[in-house]
Structure 1
Amino acid sequence: MGTCLWFLLVTVYEVAAFAQPTMHSSCRVVLKNAYCSDVNLTSIPPQLPDGIHTLDISHNLVQNLTDDVLSSYASIQQLNLHANRIQSIQPDLFRNMTHLRVLDLSRNQLHLHAALKMHVGPLTSVQKLDLSGNGLYTDMSDYFLRDAPALMNLSLNGNSITKIGKETFNGCLALRSIDLHNNVILEIEEGAFDSLQNLTELDLSMNSISCIADFNLFHLTSLNLSKNSMTAFQSIDSDQEFALINLDLRENKIHYFPVLPYRNRLIYLDLSRNQLHSVNFTGAAEELQYLRERDELTYVPLPNSKHKQNLCRLLYLDLSYNQLKAVPPEFFSSMVSLQTLNISNNCLRTFILDNENPLNSLKTLDLSFNNLQNLTFGKGTLQALETLHLQGNSLSNLDSAFFSRLPSINSLHLQLNELNVCGPQHDQTSGCVSFSFIPTLEYLYLSENNLLSLPAHAFRSTPLLILDLSLNPGVEISEQALSGLENSLTYLFLREDQLQTLKMNLSLLRKLKSVDLSNNQLTSLSLSKDSTIEVLNLQNNSLEMLEDHTLMALESTLKMLHVSMNPLSCCRNTRLISWVQQGRVTFPDMKMATCQYKKDNEYVEINLSNMKNEHCQAKSGKGQVFVISMIAVLVLGLMVVLLVSIKLCHSRSHRFSHSYRA
């Protein structure tokens, strides 16, 4: 019993000792972790507790790694030597560190060690190795990777590697993830990755690879080739299924749609910012043949003539920022699962979807910033579409019921077009687009469409939350234009519309929280009853006064008000100024918010926050003197008239009496 109690006490003592942070020279020890980061160490600190699992010596001045100290820390599982000055590593240093799983040697000077052509020795148990930012050249990584049988995650990014040799990874066949981004890779020898049967993630981005002509990594699930100089991508023609899920080819010089494995699991494909001028993938073979004839490729496997694209699992496709002039509807024939399609910033004049290629799983379609003049969605297409980007085109003549045929549409981005809005009683050939009776539409952006008018009941039975009508100078907005939005509209944008008056009664919009009326020509703003507005932007209008009844209607909900660049009168806006000085509302533009008052027959401009009662009292004092003087003059005049009248009356009476006696 006594022995058990003694053992229990010893155990509790040891746990308590580990639990309390302990200082060992410049290191802090917590539990079984030693933290010695950024303390100007020049060597591995001795006399750390036995049994530590993590040793962090990052951001120090260590230059050489030897076994005089490290050999005593055989229990280490994670060793962080990031951002030191390590130039040499004693051979076989890590041989006996059989528990070491994570080794971070990033941002050192290991190119100097590799220049000595000395192998580090076996990394028996290391599963994750970071050699990034070490100035390593081609073949230098071999001195670290020759004997790493357990290695699964390798980072070599930020070095100066120009070539991946066929035998580079022969000493680490368990690799699952390799990061080679931000090197100068020009060449990958055929078969360089073939022996890595467990490899699933490969990052070759930010290099100088010119093309991939024989992609055959069946087990790879993620391949990043972005930011290279590739003109073509082609997989081998095989009946074996490829595991590839994510393929990133953005920011290259690819001319044709890549030749992808027929049997694939692709979900994500990014071809943005290339030089695509056609989605015809057979052109890729012609491109590769051309390179072969110029002796830029030694081997070009041409695709089978029966090869077809099969992208039935694809969810995301980005073709933005290319040179596409047309995308035929049959291009989408196999994309039955596609949810996001981005073809923005191309040269499309026409876009057509027909019943044979309906894209009925698509939720987001981005056709913005093309030169679209014709847009045709066949009946029964795009049944799941929620967001449609059409801004920055030349659309003017759409079928009036065009958008009402999209049963799931939630958000329409139509800025920078030439569209007109129909009223409820429109003619089918009136050249306008109807936004009535679209029960799913909540977000509508119609800025910069050169709108001439917004008719009454324009959004009947359409529960808009956000409506942007900005930058339509001179637009005539009917008093009943927003009728039907009383219980839905939350954000309203009417900036830069050259509005002189606001006919609509915003108080009727019971859900309205934010209104932007900036950069107009409004001389007044009237609210008839309590409003729900929280943010109101009235910048750069012609307002001299915000009337008390309007401010009282806003008083209970308003949180933020923009009023700068208006010719506000200091003496006619006492309630507004009291808001400023009491801090009841936030004024984000307070530094520019000014008002004017008259002094010595001149108008003086002052910041609202600096306005004082005496600025108006002086003016009112002069007014009172003037009024009193005028009253005095009038009273004096009346007295004179009264006296003259009495005298005249008295004189007449005297004459009358005298004549009677005669």
Structure 2
Amino acid sequence: MPDQGLIPVLFCLLAMWRILTPVSSHPQYSPCKLVQKAALCNNGNLSSVPERLPGNLEELQLNYNQIKTLHDVSFLRYPSLITITLACNGLEKVQSNVFRDSQLLENLNLANNNINIGFEETSLALRTLPSLRFLDLSENKLTDEMASTLLQNVSSLEYLNLSGNLLQRLDETSFRDLHNLKDLDLQRNIMFEIDSAFGSNPKLQRLNLAFNYLPCLTDFHMTQLVVLNASYNFIEWFISRQDLNDTFQLETLDLSNNRLFFFPFLPTRSKLQNLYLSHNILRFYEHLADNRTLQNATTSVEFYNLKKHIKNVTAQLWGDDLHGDVSSLDTLDLRRNRVDYFPDGFIQKMPTLSRLWMATNCLETLNFSTEQFSSNLYELDISNNKLSQVSANDGSLSMLGNLTYVNLSRNNLKELPFGLFSSLPRIHSVDLSYNNIGICLTDERKINTRSITECLQWNNIDSLRQLHLRGCNLEAVPNSAFTGLSLTHLELSDNPRIDVQDSLQCLSRTLQHLGLGNTQTRDIDLSHFQSLKSLNLSRNSLYHLPKSLYQIDLKVLDVRDNRLSTIPFGEARTLASKLQTIFLSGNAFNCCQTEWFKIFESAKTINMVAVSDIECQDILQTTHRVQDSERFYCLEAGESILWYILLLLPICLFLTGISIVTFLTYKPKLLQTSIKKKYLKPTSY
């Protein structure tokens, strides 16, 4: 037995042993997840860099924490780090020696912090990173001066993100040390001037200037640039340097959502493939050059003081120099402008053009013969214009062997070249919605040999898969209208008097989507359409769903704005087992027959779109949202409303009697006066 005097000493030694025992010998909670040589410590509520992680880490993610300061010793234990991400921490201070042992660091993400508070000391820390290639300083409230200070002597950078800051004006000193910069993101600042800002960046290939306040881009001479995004600014002019003999490497130019009046003055030698000019006020003015009514009109415009030590620029507004080199153009996006014609030879200058998007302009005519479209043309969208005439001959149509998608919807077309689409061997999708082009009847097909026709025959076009004839005022559709087609998508909505029951049967094997919204369809047999996946029956005044719907494997059903009061229990269960998406708003459902809603709601595989807009009425004609079932006033099963009437009638009579007695009690003379006036009238004798 140990001496009683040693017991207190043993207790003291035990307590000291517990204190001195290394913490690592005890299991501790760590907010980090280790994946090979990466530590994922995001959303860990950390206030500092963890200290007890493996020393061979190459990636450390610390996003969405509360690290306000990076101390000099924060990364001392992790000399092998290549990537550090510290986004969304509220980081304010980065001490100057924090990266002195991180000589391998290549990627540093400091996005969405408060670097603006301690930017001077942070700049000293960045200078100690000789291998830094990717730096993200977005969303840090940085001004021009702060950004310039932070980027001094960081010459190894190849990718820099300064988006979402407070930059206003850039000059030749802004990025003068970034000689290896290849990708620069400056979007979502408040820049209105970028005077000679990129002269020290000969390797810059991608430049994003979107969502700023730039009024123009003139004297563009960055021959090495491959991608330029200047969308969502206030640019009225884009003028490239015309006196350069070098070939511009520019492949993608995005000037959409600006205020361009003229087609951009492109380089005379370029490799431009994608030109995005949508949402401007652009049009062509070549027709004004020979207009004798404008005696004092000028054909050129001069720009002064574009840059120091460079002569003034004179630009011809409707000469060949206007268009520049577009010989490599693959995609031209001119949507939502004011183009009312193509200048002579404009389309011909684009021998490789495959996509032409002209939706929402002012074109009145389209001549496939004179425009000489590229044989590579794959997609043509001239929807929502003012087209009243489309011309073509056999020779011009034979050149369009690659044309696959054609959209001529929302125009003023009443006639088209005979055999226009049957002459296109690869035509896949045609949209003629909201024109007055009909479907040829059998007799019209035999006698119609004119070059221009008011109706089209659609049968036997082998490649056609999608046909949109919405809102074309169609009525009579011959039974053989779609014979020989393998359509997967047929849109016939907004043709209120159309009858297609018999003409659709030949598509039962291939049809996957059918649009019959607003066609006054009451019932239709679709039981043979086993491939049908999507059906639009909206705005048809349906009182019940067609029985054939329960026999096919539908995935999407649109029955909005009908007159449905309920969906029977068994039919609802059948639909719930098949459907993935259903549109039901705009119907006057009966609140007391909403078992279908509970079935759909419990089926986790079906999505009721805009469920909060689905409404019903209870027996008091009060409108509720179907999902608010606790507010409904309904009778229990088996109850009759007659019992409620018999129950309420005596109560109403009793209350009426009480009211009369009370009234007469307080005003008895009123009754006497009334009786005298009615019965005690003076006689004539």
- TM-score range (shorter-chain normalised) is 0.7 to 0.9
| 1:60-79 → structure 2 map (5 Å cutoff) | 60-79=65-84
Give the equivalent residue in structure 2 for 1:164: 170
Give the equivalent residue in structure 2 for 1:183: 189
1:257 aligns with 2:263: yes
| Match of residue 116, structure 2, among 111, 118, 133 | 111
Give the equivalent residue in structure 1 for 2:295: none
Counterpart AA for 1:394: N
1:216 aligns with 2:228: no
Give the equivalent residue in structure 2 for 1:337: 352
Give the equivalent residue in structure 1 for 2:304: 292
Map Cα deviations across residues 352-401 of structure 1 (whole Å, 9 max, x no partner): 22266232211111111112111224432422111111222121122342
CA distance in 2: counterparts of 1:258 and 1:563, whole angstroms: 48
1:380 aligns with 2:386: no
CA distance in 2: counterparts of 1:566 and 1:209, whole angstroms: 50
Give the equivalent residue in structure 1 for 2:660: none
| Match of residue 489, structure 1, among 498, 504, 511 | 511
Counterpart AA for 2:212: N
Counterpart AA for 1:179: D
CA distance in 1: counterparts of 2:288 and 2:129, whole angstroms: 46
CA distance 1:329–1:517, change in 2 (3 Å): farther
Counterpart AA for 1:145: L
CA distance 1:87–1:294, change in 2 (3 Å): closer
CA distance 1:234–1:562, change in 2 (3 Å): closer
Give the equivalent residue in structure 2 for 1:425: 443
Map Cα deviations across residues 16-71 of structure 1 (whole Å, 9 max, x no partner): xxxxx985876555554344444444444445543333333333333333424444
CA distance 1:37–1:476, change in 2 (3 Å): closer
Counterpart AA for 2:209: L
Give the equivalent residue in structure 2 for 1:627: none
Structure 1 unaligned spans of 5+: 1-20, 597-605, 619-662
Map Cα deviations across residues 438-492 of structure 1 (whole Å, 9 max, x no partner): 221111111111223223312222222222211112x242664335434333332
| 1:337-416 → structure 2 map (5 Å cutoff) | 337-354=352-369, 357-377=372-392, 378-416=396-434
Give the equivalent residue in structure 2 for 1:440: 463
SS of the residue aligned with 1:405?
A: coil
CA distance in 1: counterparts of 2:586 and 2:111, whole angstroms: 55
1:134 aligns with 2:140: yes
CA distance in 2: counterparts of 1:158 and 1:564, whole angstroms: 40
Give the equivalent residue in structure 1 for 2:661: none
Map Cα deviations across residues 493-543 of structure 1 (whole Å, 9 max, x no partner): 2221124x66x7545556445444443357899889996463666676689
Give the equivalent residue in structure 1 for 2:99: 94
Q: Once the 2 structures are TM-superposed, how far is the Cα of residue 544 of structure 1 from its aligned partner? A: 11
Percent identity, please: 28
1:176/1:199 contact within 8 Å kept: yes
Aligned length: 579
| Match of residue 487, structure 2, among 464, 484, 490 | 464
TM-score scaled by structure 2?
0.71
CA distance in 2: counterparts of 1:58 and 1:565, whole angstroms: 45
Counterpart AA for 2:210: S
CA distance 1:26–1:410, change in 2 (3 Å): closer
CA distance in 1: counterparts of 2:583 and 2:106, whole angstroms: 58
Map Cα deviations across residues 190-210 of structure 1 (whole Å, 9 max, x no partner): 2x3233222111111111111
SS of the residue aligned with 2:345?
A: helix
CA distance in 1: counterparts of 2:541 and 2:308, whole angstroms: 65
Give the equivalent residue in structure 1 for 2:520: 498
CA RMSD of aligned residues (A): 4.8
Q: Once the 2 structures are TM-superposed, how far is the Cα of residue 114 of structure 1 from its aligned partner? A: 3.7
Give the equivalent residue in structure 1 for 2:3: none
1:519 aligns with 2:539: yes
SS of the residue aligned with 2:398?
A: coil
Structure 2 unaligned spans of 5+: 1-25, 290-297, 620-628, 643-685
CA distance 1:587–1:81, change in 2 (3 Å): closer
- Give the stretch that moved more between structures: 314-323 or 77-86: 77-86
CA distance in 1: counterparts of 2:288 and 2:525, whole angstroms: 60
SS of the residue aligned with 1:143?
A: helix
CA distance in 2: counterparts of 1:26 and 1:580, whole angstroms: 40
